[in-house]
A and B are shown apart, each in its own frame.
Chain A
Amino acid sequence: MNYNVNDKGYYGEFGGAYIPEMLYPNVEELRQNYLKVMTEPDFKAEFDKLLKDYVGRPSPLYFAKRLSEKYNTKIYLKREDLNHTGAHKINNTIGQILMAKRLGKTRIIAETGAGQHGVATATVCALMGLECIVYMGEIDIARQAPNVARMKMLGATVVPAKSGSRTLKDATNEAIRDWISNPVNTHYIIGSAIGPHPYPDMVTRFQAVISEEIKWQLKEQEGRENPDYVVACIGGGSNAAGTYYHYLHEKDVNIIAVEAAGHGVDSGESAATSILGKEGIIHGCKTLLMQTKDGQITEPYSISAGLDYPGVGPMHAHLCKSGRAEFMAMTDDQAMKAGLDLCKLEGIIPAIESSHALAIFEEKTFKPTDVVVVSLSGRGDKDLQNYIEYFNI
């Protein structure tokens, strides 16, 4: 089976470009150019150089000795948390800002939930001297004040999304509306592996550097490129897409996707899309999404703003439906505990998103000889307030 996008923009039955005609020229321009631009030697050289000198790649593949001892298996952490701006998000924004420049765009828009993608976008816009407008739900602005301040310091304009539930979903709607109204000079940097084709594929390819590095790093440390498992948390799914990419067709590598169960999958307050979602259309693609039986998109819940999204990227929907990936769902409580464990055992404060991926070790038993690579997608600085309140620190 093919797990990559086909020439019509679909992963199995998922994907495509379900967009209003107003967006057609923008998306079509991108579709016709993205692969050509990405494979140009100049582009590749500039991308690689920025990833190395500016982002700080390669990110370490760290053998977590004490964590491994606790769970009696071999756990490696892919340290995306050590990237500039503190998460994997910047891999994609570096790629897309270079793409935007090649396409002659002068104005950048983005959506953000917790603010990580917004900060990563504001960062590359400052780097390239381009105008940057970030849409962020009014509620998220209130609960993520440090990231709002970061974006402003980096020169971005942060526009509150006041419609609907005033969170990530609505920020995305507002960014799309901006793009409709500014079709010529503007590039929309989508932050996850979602949106109309070619976005899921383009974002995945920019994030694929994660698994490209894991391959040679694991070869150095374990003498083999392929682990037994790759594990990543999934909201829209960009760090997961990058972590899986070079292993999608390696049959001996098991893929585990970890969603946010919130207060529990059946609690009515959850973001476990693979269990609670149904096929439908959100933000320009056909995928699994949480919705009423009438087709209205519903509000997800997770303590982690980065996983608090009612859909999942179309590639992941396909990995789920085809059975290629095992989907697990971890609650707020499980994730918070796993996060604190990592602090005590390894001296690493993880983002709450990444803590969901770490939480599976309490649920699932691995063999002592198994090599399990977990994407540590971000650092926990942004979540300090959450950790403080949760643990009464």
Chain B
Amino acid sequence: MNRINKKLSEDKKLLSIYFTAGYPNIDDTVSIIQDLEKNGVDMIEIGLPFSDPLADGPTIQASSTQALKNGMTTEVLFDQLKEIRKSVNIPLIIMGYFNPMFQYGVEAFCKKCQEIGIDGLIIPDLPVDVYHEQYQAIFEQYRLRNIFLITPQTSDERIRYIDSISNGFIYMVSSASTTGSQTGFGDEQTNYFKRIADMKLINPQIIGFGISDNETFTQATQYAKGAIIGSAFVKHVTQEGSKSIDSFVKTILN
């Protein structure tokens, strides 16, 4: 069973953390992953940095720019991760924009992911229909889960369609925004969370964008299987360095 599906079947609310690979230092990638697992994080999104991250706010943009300056590339990331499965057991997802994967070759990229032990991909700018027509067979061949986003503006019909193509979880974007720009959830968000929960989708949902602390994590997981923290973690690493991951995770889970 794919590690993502297995994790989703556990009877608990999941905490998933996003970080930008190669940030703050080029060689931090592996130790950040190990520390996150050690401190009880359930799933990790490894951000493959891109020069033009359209869906990201200033925090992740800045970390991506720095990571690229540090010398991070697709090759370097794969090389850093080649022995990751000797020490890490939780699901690992690569999150990145489509162009770097397209240049690497989608099939070669997927093959490499399987060799390393990556469980899934999140590619915000690869639309569902293009994936379905051109790449789904490749992803399935290499047993990768492709995770799709939905937003408060996504129609019920389209959510059902995305649910039918997904095998893993659905990434619920909490509000119309880029990453890292929300502070707290209001009625609008909780109504949306309820609406989706009531749809009884096949795939569990994990909420991202706007989760930054224990309060928002608790709010989100009241309606969904888990929550994803990205910008708040990147900010923490920026301020405290990559050695203080335990304190960050504790503030979320306690």
Contact = CB atoms under 8 A, between A and B. Distances in A.
B125 A281 contact: yes
Contacts of A24: 127, 153-154, 158
A21 B54 contact: no
Contacts of B104: 294-295
A22 B55 contact: yes
A106 to B, nearest CB: 16
Nearest to B178: A177
Given A21-B150, A180-B55, A180-B176, A280 B103 contact: yes
A166 to B, nearest CB: 12
A170 B56 CA distance: 13
A284 B98 CA distance: 10
Given A18-B125, A21-B173, A181-B181, A280 B99 contact: yes
A183 to B, nearest CB: 5
B61 interface: yes
Contacts of B176: 22, 180-184
B177 interface: yes
A173 B126 CA distance: 17
A164 B98 contact: no
Which interface class (under 10, 10 to 19, 20 to 34, 35 or more) fits A? 20 to 34
Contacts of B68: 296
A297 B100 contact: no
Nearest to A293: B103
B199 interface: no
A25 B127 contact: no
A20 B54 contact: yes
Interface residues of B, number: 42
B217 interface: no
Given A24-B154, A24-B158, A281 B102 contact: yes
Contacts of A17: 127
B74 interface: yes
Nearest to A16: B130
A184 B125 CA distance: 20
B57 to A, nearest CB: 7
A176 interface: yes
A75 B153 CA distance: 52
Instruction: Give the most central of A22, A163, A283, A294: most B CB within 10 Å.
Output: A22
Interface in A146-188: 163-164, 169-170, 173, 176-177, 180-184
A5 interface: no
Given A180-B55, A180-B177, A296-B50, A21 B151 contact: yes
Contacts of A293: 103
B125 A295 contact: no
B99 A282 contact: yes
A25 B153 contact: yes
Interface in B139-153: 148-151, 153
B213 to A, nearest CB: 21
Instruction: Give the most central of B54, B55, B75, B98: most A CB within 10 Å.
Output: B54
Contacts of B52: 164, 169-170, 173, 282-283, 297
Contact of B54 (A177, A294, A295): A177
A342 interface: no
Nearest to B181: A181
Nearest to B128: A21
Contacts of A320: none
Contacts of B80: none
B65 interface: yes
B241 interface: no
B51 to A, nearest CB: 4
A281 B99 contact: yes
Contacts of A19: 125, 127
Interface string A309-342: 0000000000000000000000000000000000
Nearest to B51: A296
A26 to B, nearest CB: 8
B150 A291 contact: no
A380 B10 CA distance: 66
Instruction: Give the most central of A19, A182, A298: most B CB within 10 Å.
Output: A19
Nearest to A289: B99
Interface string B167-199: 000000100111001000000000000000000
21 contacts: A16-B127, A20-B54, A20-B124, A21-B128, A21-B154, A169-B52, A173-B52, A173-B53, A176-B54, A177-B54, A183-B151, A183-B176, A184-B153, A184-B176, A280-B103, A281-B102, A282-B99, A291-B99, A295-B102, A296-B51, A296-B100
Given A22-B55, A24-B158, A283-B54, 17 more contacts: A22-B149, A25-B155, A163-B58, A163-B61, A164-B51, A164-B61, A173-B54, A177-B54, A177-B55, A181-B176, A183-B151, A281-B97, A282-B99, A283-B52, A284-B125, A296-B51, A298-B51
Interface of A: 16-22, 24-25, 163-164, 169-170, 173, 176-177, 180-184, 278, 280-284, 291, 293-298
